[in-house]
Structure formats: structure tokens, C-alpha cells
Structure 1
């Protein structure tokens, strides 16, 4: 299951929540100031497997 990051815009408190992709976002509140937290989007890692990519074929 993926982990989702949330951050409070007021006090910058952050938390990580593990939940299924199919579960709706319930909306989380900050434990410090009790304001709504916003989801922080991050870039995933890219892996080049197989042939046809410069990174995997450049030594051939």
C-alpha cells in the first residue's frame, strides 16, 4: 500500500498515512492546531529495465 504525505499550512506539521489507492481521501486535521492538512505530492522514482533505453544500452 502506498504512503501519503500530509502537511499543515499553518504550523508545517507533517504526517505520513498508509492507505489503499481505492480508499477515498478522508481529510486529515493537524494534531497541533486542528486545521485541515493538505496532501504533499512527490515525484516517484523511475527505473529503466530492458533494452531500448540509453541508460541500459550505452555500453553495448
Structure 2
């Protein structure tokens, strides 16, 4: 939400969509050695928050 907030404040777009995927290195590298220990977070503002179709479009483009 902080990244989206800064983009919104600086650029003042009609909407912001942010998706971040991160790997838990402590689980991947240390004793657990679990592969694919990832977390995914996303946030939407403006037209992305108000229009579910825009959310689907964004996620589809990011995942392509």
C-alpha cells in the first residue's frame, strides 16, 4: 500500500495497481530448505479498486 500511495501522490494517475512477489530467503536457504517459499501481495487504487475487470486485466498481464 505504501508503494501505491507514493505513486498515487507523485503522479496522480486515475488508478494504481501494484503486485509484489517475494521469496522468503530464510526458509529457502536455512534449515527448512523449502523451495518456492513465496508470498504475493497486491493493492489497487482508483479505477483498479473500483472496477474488478481492470484488476483481472492487470493480473492477467502481470502473470503472462
Q: Select the structure of larger CA radius of gyration.
A: 1
Work out whether the TM-score is over 0.5: no
Q: What is the TM-score when the length of structure 2 is the normalising length?
A: 0.26
